[in-house]
Amino acid sequence: MFNIYEDKLSNHTTFKIGGLAKIFQPRNLDELKQFLIDNKKNYFVLGNGSNILAGNYIRPIIIKTNLLDKIYKKGNIVCVESGVNLFRLIKFCADNGLSGLEALYGIPSSVGGAIYMNAGSFGTEIGQFVTSVDYLDSNGILHKKIKPKFSYRNSFFTNKNCVITMVRLKLLKDTPDNICKKCEYYFNLKKAKQPYNYPSAGSVFKRVGDVGAPIFIEKAGLKGLKIGGAMISDKHCGFVINVNNAKFNDVKQIICKIKKTVLKKFGIILTREIVVIGDKNGDNW
């Protein structure tokens, strides 16, 4: 039968926060399809858990995609299953002299999560390279080779109840050596600017027009604010970091405090980028 087990989501999220959940790791598409037919809408898809704040009230079954891990190329098109992580995808591209994704090197994402969120960095977004995507809807029906629309941290898939399974990316030719150098360059920039040494879920808020949320957070004097085990990073105040065994509510309180203060001081409503699951009171905050 299905490979379902119980574990704390803190073991599956980069924030290292999250209560007990039932986790299903499909080993192939057929298994995933059958699961969706049997379970219909009672699921939540987890990629690498790098954009997730998880509470303790997790009701849906978590579909963890990491075993969907095939990757191959046809000319300059890379075909990659959604559970592959971006590090592996970009290394594969480098080995094969395929360039374009280097600025994303260092984002701790799965391919599926990157497509869902349209992950981006230093002016590059994954959506720019996508030629088509396959996904399974919640009735287990496979939609093949669709050409999704993307915008800033948003895609055709955002808030849609489906599982991205396969992605095709059209890339450019370059030498493996050049590609590796670019990856290293961008990853070093990231590590210099972002608190990679603490558990987090990346930037908590989306940009406001062209202005990054950290500008408002810093001007509001919130840099370094600590609640329980969570803290607004003083290296990059768009990140909330888990400095000491932070609880879901510590992070929630910090996020609410930021939103309230920025609204009061600047009249700006910040929108969350991170996805919240498992809050008994819902995620509308």
Active-site positions read 153, 203, 273
Closest of 229, 150, 199, 207 to residue 52, by C-alpha: 199
Angle in degrees, CA 17, 20, 25, rounded to 5: 95
- 90 near ligand FAD, judged by CB under 6 A: no
- 127 near ligand FAD, judged by CB under 6 A: no
Task: Compute the half-sphere exposure of residue 183: CA atoms within 13 Å on the CB side of its CA.
Answer: 25
Which of 26, 55, 108, 127 is close enough to bind ligand FAD by CB under 6 A? 108
Which of 130, 201, 222, 225 is close enough to bind ligand FAD by CB under 6 A? 201
Number of Cβ within 10 Å of residue 119's Cβ equals 23
CB of 264: closest distance to ligand FAD in angstroms?
Answer: 27
Q: How far apart are CA 94 and CA 99, in angstroms?
A: 7
Q: Which is nearer to ligand FAD, 185 or 196 (CB)?
A: 196
- 116 near ligand FAD, judged by CB under 6 A: yes
- 18 near ligand FAD, judged by CB under 6 A: no
Which of 26, 127, 148, 202 is close enough to bind ligand FAD by CB under 6 A? 202
- Print the binding letters for residues 145-164 with ligand FAD: x by CB under 6 A, - otherwise: ------------x-----xx
100-103, Cβ contacts within 8 angstroms, sequence gap of 24 or more: 100/124, 100/128, 100/129, 100/169, 100/171, 100/172, 101/126, 101/129, 101/169, 101/171, 102/179, 102/182, 102/183, 102/185, 102/186, 103/182, 103/186
Instruction: Looking at residues 203 to 262 of the shown chain, list those that interact with ligand FAD (rule: CB under 6 A).
Output: none
CB of 122: closest distance to ligand FAD in angstroms?
Answer: 8
CA of 69: how far to CAs of 36, 213, 246, in Å?
19, 34, 31
Number of Cβ within 10 Å of residue 232's Cβ equals 24
- Print the binding letters for residues 58-77 with ligand FAD: x by CB under 6 A, - otherwise: -------x------------
Which of 121, 132, 249, 261 is close enough to bind ligand FAD by CB under 6 A? 121
Q: Which residues bind ligand FAD (CB under 6 A)?
A: 14, 44-52, 65, 82, 107-110, 112-114, 116-117, 119-121, 157, 163-164, 194, 196, 200-202, 275
